[in-house]
């Protein structure tokens, strides 16, 4: 037991250090994240330490259970492809530059339009679009000579708050939801209203935080981005709409969500490829979404699943779950909510979701506590950049574009995340 815990702690400590000290390594002309290499290495060590544990852990990857990590990875990758396909057609650039132009230099109007636009984009896709929206915000700020910090904080906070809106908006939602048998419709009824209320509360909090900066007029001569291809845009929007409809009724038609999203992603890919080849269009329309997929997520989630499963095998998570279960019932959503938020900022939100699925299950906590942990797996990214992979990618893009936003500067607004967490758990208890 002690060896397993030591290996897990070392893996998490080195992974966290890698985010800050050596986030990537260059091989040839490409950069590769180091975080997944570290977890993959330690997962291999875990499997070699005890062959009996290894057999039981690896059997889960072949199971027909909805929490099979390969199914969750497939679901997330395919949803991400659907969103990147829309970006390749020019939708997000088109909407963002229109929103900036409509404001006519009035920062309050532009800030408001961009806030609700980014919120909508996240609801329709997932918070992985931060890779796409962050360069848009930086481009807008440089072109209009606006202070980029209010817009960047707004974008990051909006994406990571509204990623709690639907079951498919964040991989941590998917994992915890699948683990506890929460359907798309169950989630829609219980957590979606909370997320929409938090959207309004976050907007008010951000306005209060940045009002002095937003009062200053800016240059409205932002170059408008066109729709790159109308057929591909129509295809992408149709696929997204029909896919969402199927996800809502997936439990009633007895079709697993990963098969639905995979099927519609392949529809985008196949029909889009035929169109591009037949019309002799630029192949980047198809290649760009494929190149932009978060492939590093595959070894990362797989290896983290092995590491967390090892902790479960030695009984540690069961003991923690039992300890938390002894707390008064009324306090459990608050305890699970805030403890999972803290844990996510120590180990990142995906590993936290894997850990807390077993902890909550062992303690027999109710679904309100599960939803509190799901909410935390999103809002944790408002506390420190280490809270989620999307925020770490956000900080990397900001640095690469020479925008001065330090980790300390980011954490100046952590109070917003704490307030939203408290409001969200309160809403879960009353709605």
What's the pLDDT score for residue 248? 76
Task: Give the whole-angstrom CA distance, residue 123 versus residue 9.
Answer: 34
What is the Cα 418 distance to its own chain's centre?
18
Place 234 in a pLDDT band, splitting at 50, 70 and 90: very high
Beta bridge partners of 26: 31
- How far is residue 57 from each of residues 53, 63, 302, 347, 361, measured CA to CA in Å? 6, 10, 11, 21, 18
pLDDT reading at 4 higher than 90: no
State the pTM of this model. Answer: 0.78
Residue written as tokens 């397993």? 4
Averaged pLDDT, 115-119: 91
Place 41 in a pLDDT band, splitting at 50, 70 and 90: very high
pLDDT reading at 292 higher than 70: yes
Task: Give the whole-angstrom CA distance, residue 81 versus residue 78.
Answer: 5
- φ, ψ for residue 27 (rounded to 5)? -125, 110
Tokens of 276: 């591009």
- Determine what percent of the chain falls in helix, strand and coil, rounding each to the nearest 5: 80, 0, 20
The answer to whether the CB of 54 falls within 8 A of the CB of 22 is no
What's the pLDDT score for residue 202? 97
Q: What is the pLDDT of residues 413-423, one digit of tens each?
A: 999 999 999 99
What's the pLDDT score for residue 388? 84
CA dihedral 344, 350, 352, 357 (to 10 degrees): 150
Contacts of residue 177, Cβ cutoff 8 Å, sequence gap at least 6:
167, 183, 187, 374
Specify which of 259-263, 328-332, 394-398 reaches the highest per-range mean pLDDT. 259-263
What's the pLDDT score for residue 363? 77
Place 1 in a pLDDT band, splitting at 50, 70 and 90: low
pLDDT reading at 94 higher than 90: no
Position with higher pLDDT, 143 vs 409: 409
What's the pLDDT score for residue 122? 85
Q: What is the pLDDT of residues 362-410, one digit of tens each?
A: 877 789 999 999 999 999 999 988 788 788 778 877 887 788 888 889 9
Contacts of residue 276, Cβ cutoff 8 Å, sequence gap at least 6:
282, 283, 285, 286
Residue written as tokens 């169109």? 275
- How far is residue 56 from each of residues 47, 51, 61, 256, 307, measured CA to CA in Å? 10, 9, 10, 24, 13
Place 66 in a pLDDT band, splitting at 50, 70 and 90: low
Task: Give the whole-angstrom CA distance, residue 165 versus residue 375.
Answer: 9
Averaged pLDDT, 310-321: 77
Q: DSSP assignment of 85-109, as one string?
A: HHHHTTHHHHHHHHHHHHTTT-HHH
What's the pLDDT score for residue 425? 96
What's the pLDDT score for residue 67? 67
- How far is residue 132 from each of residues 156, 393, 397, measured CA to CA in Å? 12, 11, 10
Element (DSSP H or E) covering residue 402: none
Task: Give the whole-angstrom CA distance, residue 244 versus residue 241.
Answer: 5
pLDDT reading at 269 higher than 90: yes
pLDDT reading at 50 higher than 80: no
Give the lowest-confidence range in 21-35, 321-335, 358-372.
Answer: 21-35
Beta bridge partners of 63: none
CA dihedral 28, 348, 394, 412 (to 10 degrees): -140
Mean pLDDT across the chain, nearest whole number? 86
Place 192 in a pLDDT band, splitting at 50, 70 and 90: very high
Place 156 in a pLDDT band, splitting at 50, 70 and 90: very high
Place 16 in a pLDDT band, splitting at 50, 70 and 90: confident
Place 87 in a pLDDT band, splitting at 50, 70 and 90: confident
What's the pLDDT score for residue 3? 80
What's the pLDDT score for residue 249? 82
What's the pLDDT score for residue 222? 67
The answer to whether the CB of 233 falls within 8 A of the CB of 91 is yes
- φ, ψ for residue 91 (rounded to 5)? -65, -50
Q: State what percent of residues in the chain have pLDDT above 70.
A: 98
Residue written as tokens 């002799």? 280
Could you tell me whether strands 30-33 and 24-27 are parallel, antiparallel, or unpaired per DSSP bridges? antiparallel
């Amino acid at each position: 037991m002690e060896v397993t815990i030591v290996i897990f702690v070392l893996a998490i400590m080195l992974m966290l250090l890698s985010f800050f000290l050596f986030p990537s390594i260059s091989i040839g002309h490409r950069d590769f994240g180091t975080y997944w290499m570290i977890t993959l290495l330690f997962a291999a060590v875990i499997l070699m330490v005890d062959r009996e544990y290894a057999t039981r852990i690896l059997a889960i990857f072949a199971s027909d259970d909805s929490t099979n990590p390969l199914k969750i990875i497939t679901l997330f990758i395919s949803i991400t492809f659907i969103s990147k396909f829309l970006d390749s057609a020019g939708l997000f650039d088109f909407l963002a530059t229109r929103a900036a132009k409509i404001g006519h230099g009035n920062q309050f109007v532009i800030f408001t339009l961009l806030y609700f636009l980014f919120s909508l984009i996240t609801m329709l896709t997932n918070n992985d679009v931060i890779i796409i929206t962050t360069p848009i915000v930086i481009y807008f700020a440089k072109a209009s000579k606006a202070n980029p910090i209010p817009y960047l904080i707004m974008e990051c906070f909006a994406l990571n708050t509204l990623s709690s809106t639907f079951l498919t908006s964040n991989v941590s939602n998917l994992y915890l939801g699948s683990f506890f048998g929460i359907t798309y419709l169950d989630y829609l009824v219980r957590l979606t209203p909370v997320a929409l209320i938090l959207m309004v509360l976050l907007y008010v909090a951000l306005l209060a935080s940045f009002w002095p900066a937003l009062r200053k007029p800016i240059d409205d001569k932002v170059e408008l981005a066109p729709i790159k291809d109308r057929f591909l845009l129509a295809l992408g929007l149709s696929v997204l709409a029909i896919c969402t409809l199927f996800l809502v009724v997936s439990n009633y038609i007895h079709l697993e969500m990963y098969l639905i999203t995979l099927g519609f992603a392949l529809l985008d890919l196949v029909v889009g490829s035929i169109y591009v080849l037949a019309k002799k269009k630029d192949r980047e329309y198809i290649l760009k979404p494929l190149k932009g997929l978060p492939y590093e997520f595959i070894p990362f989630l797989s290896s983290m699943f092995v590491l967390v499963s090892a902790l479960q095998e030695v009984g540690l998570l069961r003991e923690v779950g039992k300890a938390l279960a002894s707390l008064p019932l009324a306090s459990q959503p608050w305890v699970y909510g805030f403890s999972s938020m803290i844990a996510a900022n120590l180990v990142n939100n995906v590993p936290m979701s894997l850990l807390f699925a077993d902890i909550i299950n062992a303690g027999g906590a109710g679904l309100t506590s599960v939803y509190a942990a799901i909410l935390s797996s999103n809002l944790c990214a408002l506390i420190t950049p280490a809270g989620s992979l999307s925020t770490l990618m956000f900080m990397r893009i900001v640095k690469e574009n020479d925008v001065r936003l330090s980790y300390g500067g980011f954490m100046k607004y952590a109070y917003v995340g704490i307030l939203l967490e408290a409001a969200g758990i309160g809403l879960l208890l009353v709605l």
